[in-house]
Structure 1
């Protein structure tokens, strides 16, 4: 090992120890600005950036331009374009198939009469809507109403995070497939009715099954058999 490499390894070790002490003492996940950190470690700014890059590559810290350096893995932000660009439509549909059937099951357990009434109103509006864009807004509203009916704030947050990616990555494909249809989407509307009926009956197993079947049907409509 060269002398330079050994010095960098030593600096990395000192920074690790500094981070552990900083978090333990202050409870703050954000590290001091580079000038202060450089002084605290007794290294040049250039050397500090090399060491920070090493720890970032290891996942110990993450940096956000203009905001600072933070301890831990980088947090995903729903509207962060750098994250969105790495998410495929397959990723989105897989995530929906994992999350939304469970939301439907929870809604079947926890939905109130007001929740069911809101779903019924949405179904009625969808049945009378011909253009795609307003129908799609109602479709989104129905799925979010189901998520809201879990009465679980954390589950709703997960759903909204996923919906951002649907909007960014999947909406264009939906418009391409469905815009040519002039009437209500009868197959999809029928699937929605069965799903809401299962939630109304407080049957979580059936609601979960029907949501999964519905999403698989959507996937076939959008991308063919997969």
Structure 2
């Protein structure tokens, strides 16, 4: 028998989908909030003159970038979650923050290395310590260069957050999965979910483009 679409499953459950969207954005935003300081810390560590700090930072970045996010989510949920009592919500945020932090670390490292070396030399010659020069001179300049890729990382984070449903975090994907299991309207539900994810990421992409245009104009 030919399949007959029934889109009433969407209109009758819009509150469920929009609540799932909100939770997805909340998880993504909080993860990014924690991922940024992690990324800055290890990004600076990657170019540290201290070999131990540089080694630790490099190991963190390479391990996190080399292990699938799904594995990290499950490991943190099953291992750290048992000791810290994180729960699915905070376990998801910790996992995403640690995972995204490694990518942000590379963004930060690239931003710092794009600042001319003469800036550090000038700061040091004026009497600043390495820490002061990095905090007051180098990082502010690097920050301007890293904002666009940081914003793009947030879009990637939203898409990656769909995996948190595997540890029972109640996001858009899990709500859709539960609703589909009850209604058996898989085509309608997952089509709509795909459109919602596209709407979130595309809207953010437009905002980022406008921000980049404004940012470039302000530089001249």
User: TM-score, length-normalised on structure 2?
Assistant: 0.30
Bigger RCO (CA 8 Å, 6+ sep): 2
More helix by share: 2
User: TM-score, length-normalised on structure 1?
Assistant: 0.29
